[in-house]
Amino acid sequence: MTEDGDRHLLVVDDEVNMRQLLKKVLSEQGFQVDLLADGLKVIERVARDPEYYHVIMLDIRLPGKNGIEVLRQIREVNKDIAVIMMTAYESLETAIEAIREGAYDYLVKPISIDEILIAVNRALERKLLQQENIYLQRQVENQYCFDKIIGKSDKMQEVYRIIKDVLTSPAPVLLEGESGTGKELVARAIHFNGWKKDQKFVAVDCGALPENLIESELFGHKKGAFTGATQDKTGLFEAANSGTIFLDEICNINASTQAKLLRVLQEGEIKRVGEIRYRKVDVRVISATNKDLKEEVKSGGFRDDLYYRLNVIHMKLPPLRERKEDIPLLADHFLQSYSNKVGKQVGRIEEDVMSLLVNYPWPGNVRQLENEIKKMVTFVSDGSNITIEYVSRDVHDADQLKRYGGIEESSPLKSKVAGLERDLILEALKANNWNKSRTANALGLSRKGLDKKILRYGLDRRVKQGKKRG
């Protein structure tokens, strides 16, 4: 398709005056208009470049082939071309046949200029909307393809295997994993790669819904069912009908809602708050929790019968600290993604930085790593690599305290002390134009002691860069 392909029209009519009139009217509106008088040549032209024309104005009575037959063959080549049929002989049967064969519109001559422009612009709008929908669908499929769930570790390979196994199954899926491990991403991958991918995906954060409104949100309510229910409301299960509903933090729903959810899974039906009749729904349920749901059952906080209904297919998403070999892959992916997003040419993550990332425990899992890389890309200079100075204090101090403090995890006090010392040394180096001897004297340290602290806090690269700029 050419750059202005969405403005290309073909007018097909055996009357030369009609062809010239349509070309004049449409060209004045900025359309690129081609003319033909023969039905056979139309098929040849469309077959040569099926994507070129987006709108074709086609007379019913043509030499060679009649317009209905031409329409039929156009749609065999490309059913997305909007074809507007024209005729001087008004016939209900012909109009019905043309529409049945896929014509976008049907105009009876004589046709006013307004009629022509309205019909063409509507057809073009429909075509552009189709293109946008195709683009969005491709974006969705790309966003939630398996390539976006990154990891080469054994634990992630097991995740991939289970996802592929459940794509064609309607069975409920239970995802367990810490916050930030990508449970919703996996749920979306299952839906958008599975047999319901053309249907709705509705995500619900059960932990964010007020307890007194959760049933209304999930199942809907009838007008007057409670104070504030001023009109009937469709619940999220009905909204997701024929598709998938993702119930995140499922452990937060109360006992009453658990009973209603159990009925959905057993009978495939819901009842709006305040109603007496049940409504059928066909919804695939994917649920998720950052808790051990089996332990919640043991403690009495979650129904055991509901647990077994939800837990037909179980998937445990590993925390990032248990798949360290995936951290470089994820970090490079986020680096590339955010560099492109902000229009920066960022180099690579240098080895000492990557070492810090790999050895950090990441309590916030993949989401925290993503935010860390996002901050690095924000502050790094265009064309530069990611160096130690762009590492956040939490990540850097955790490494330093682990190495020099004799502890596995940082305490708040030691972290603050280490951070303060690092900042003081850095300020002193800047004030003394990166001269180590003068900085050591200013801080009351030996030159050797300062060198150790510079290495401890990863400031050696800053010193080298400072000297070069100086």
Task: Return the CATH number at 203.
Answer: 3.40.50.300
Among 264, 289, 318, identify where a domain stops: 318
Per-residue pLDDT of 142-151, as tens digits, reads: 454 566 688 8
The answer on pLDDT for 208 being more than 80 is yes
**In the chain, how long is the greatest CA-to-CA distance?**
102
pLDDT band per the 50, 70, 90 thresholds, residue 405: very low
If asked whether residues 22 and 135 sit together in one domain, one would say: yes
CB 46 within 8 A of CB 77: yes
Listed residue (441, 440, 434) closest to 464, CA to CA:
434
CB 329 within 8 A of CB 151: yes
Average pLDDT, integer, range 30-37: 90
If asked whether residues 166 and 310 sit together in one domain, one would say: yes
Which of the pair, 89 or 117, is modelled with greater confidence?
117
Distance between CA atoms of residues 138 and 118, nearest Å: 30
CATH number of the domain encompassing residue 71 = 3.40.50.2300
What is residue 404's predicted lDDT score, i.e. its pLDDT?
A: 47
Among 293, 318, 343, identify where a domain stops: 318
Per-residue pLDDT of 243-261, as tens digits, reads: 999 999 999 999 999 999 9
If asked whether residues 401 and 414 sit together in one domain, one would say: yes
CB 352 within 8 A of CB 385: no
Q: Is 289 helix (H, G, I), strand (E, B) or coil?
A: strand
Helix H or strand E segment including 116: helix 113-143
Distance between CA atoms of residues 55 and 74, nearest Å: 11
Which of the pair, 431 or 95, is modelled with greater confidence?
431
Distance between CA atoms of residues 38 and 408, nearest Å: 82
Taken as a whole, the chain contains a residue count of 470
What is residue 5's predicted lDDT score, i.e. its pLDDT?
A: 40
Query: Considering the chain, what is the average pLDDT of its residues?
Result: 85
pTM of the prediction?
A: 0.58
The answer on pLDDT for 133 being more than 70 is no
If asked whether residues 277 and 380 sit together in one domain, one would say: no
Centre a 10 Å sphere on the Cβ of residue 86 and count the other Cβ atoms it contains.
25
What is residue 409's predicted lDDT score, i.e. its pLDDT?
A: 44
Q: Which domain holds residue 118?
A: 5-140
CATH number of the domain encompassing residue 373 = 1.10.8.60
Which of the pair, 365 or 63, is modelled with greater confidence?
365
If asked whether residues 357 and 272 sit together in one domain, one would say: no
Q: Which spans in 268-362 are helix H?
A: 293-298, 304-310, 327-342, 351-359
Q: How far apart are the first and last CA of the chain?
A: 55
The answer on pLDDT for 304 being more than 50 is yes
If asked whether residues 162 and 266 sit together in one domain, one would say: yes
The answer on pLDDT for 140 being more than 70 is no
What is residue 269's predicted lDDT score, i.e. its pLDDT?
A: 93
Among 117, 140, 163, identify where a domain stops: 140
What is residue 134's predicted lDDT score, i.e. its pLDDT?
A: 56
Lowest mean pLDDT segment, chosen from 116-125, 418-427, 439-448: 418-427
Where would I find the beta strands (DSSP E) of 305-444?
Answer: 313-316
If asked whether residues 332 and 387 sit together in one domain, one would say: yes
Distance between CA atoms of residues 432 and 440, nearest Å: 10
Distance between CA atoms of residues 399 and 388, nearest Å: 12
Average pLDDT, integer, range 296-325: 94
pLDDT band per the 50, 70, 90 thresholds, residue 178: very high
If asked whether residues 313 and 344 sit together in one domain, one would say: no
Tally of structural domains, the chain: 3
If asked whether residues 400 and 268 sit together in one domain, one would say: no
pLDDT band per the 50, 70, 90 thresholds, residue 80: confident
**DSSP-derived pairing of the beta strands 82-87 and 105-108:** parallel
If asked whether residues 406 and 428 sit together in one domain, one would say: yes
Average pLDDT, integer, range 324-328: 92
Could you give phi then psi for residue 245, rounded to 5 degrees?
-115, 135
Could you give phi then psi for residue 227, rounded to 5 degrees?
-60, 125
Which of the pair, 219 or 122, is modelled with greater confidence?
219
User: DSSP string spanning 218-284?
Assistant: HHEE-TTSSTT--S-EE-HHHHTTTSEEEEETGGGS-HHHHHHHHHHHHHSEE--BT-SS-EE---E
If asked whether residues 245 and 333 sit together in one domain, one would say: no
Q: Cis before residue 110, ω within 30 degrees of 0?
A: yes
pLDDT band per the 50, 70, 90 thresholds, residue 284: very high
DSSP class of residue 199 equals: S
User: DSSP string spanning 34-102?
Assistant: EEE--HHHHHHHHHH-TTT-SEEEEESS-SSS-HHHHHHHHHHH-TTSEEEEEESS--HHHHHHHHHTT
If asked whether residues 121 and 155 sit together in one domain, one would say: no
Average pLDDT, integer, range 100-127: 85
pLDDT band per the 50, 70, 90 thresholds, residue 410: very low
